[in-house]
Amino acid sequence: QVQLVESGGGLVQAGGSLRLSCTASGRTFSSYAMGWFRQAPGLEREFVAAISWSGGSTFYADSVKGRFTISRDNAKKTVYLQMNSLKLEDTAVYYCAAGSGLYSSATRGYDYWGQGTQVTVSS
């Protein structure tokens, strides 16, 4: 069992930056691929970024490529999402997720989810 807690969300102006963190409980964090997803009001949850269990491989949605960076610190059981050059359309609730398989862009590829953290980008 893995429990995930996100933090770091907030209100930021367009063009600004935020860093989200997701800290896991349990002893097997380093064996899980981790992903970040987001969901805006009225829309489906969408993939943002994923990272392999070792951190050696990363994968991004086209909409965030070059602006967002996913990383992890297995010793701290934490995965991060550095978000730069934020746009209005990045406004959403951001969720982290843990999956026992290969890192994936699909929600079905993840077994555990956090409660989400709100990111609001203003003009």
What are residue 42's phi and psi, to 5 degrees?
A: 80, 0
Distance from C-alpha of 68 to C-alpha of 51, rounded to nearest angstrom = 12
Distance from C-alpha of 2 to C-alpha of 97, rounded to nearest angstrom = 10
Distance from C-alpha of 40 to C-alpha of 43, rounded to nearest angstrom = 5
Helices (H), the chain: none
77 sits in the region (left: phi over 0; alpha: psi -120 to 50; else beta) called left
Distance from C-alpha of 102 to C-alpha of 50, rounded to nearest angstrom = 10
Work out the average pLDDT over 13-18: 98
Which of the 8 DSSP states describes residue 107?
G
Confirm if 122 and 11 have CB atoms less than 8 A apart: yes
Quick one: tokens of 88?
A: 């209005």
Segment 17-38, tens digit of pLDDT: 999 999 999 878 888 999 999 9
Segment 49-87, tens digit of pLDDT: 999 999 999 999 999 999 999 999 999 999 999 999 999
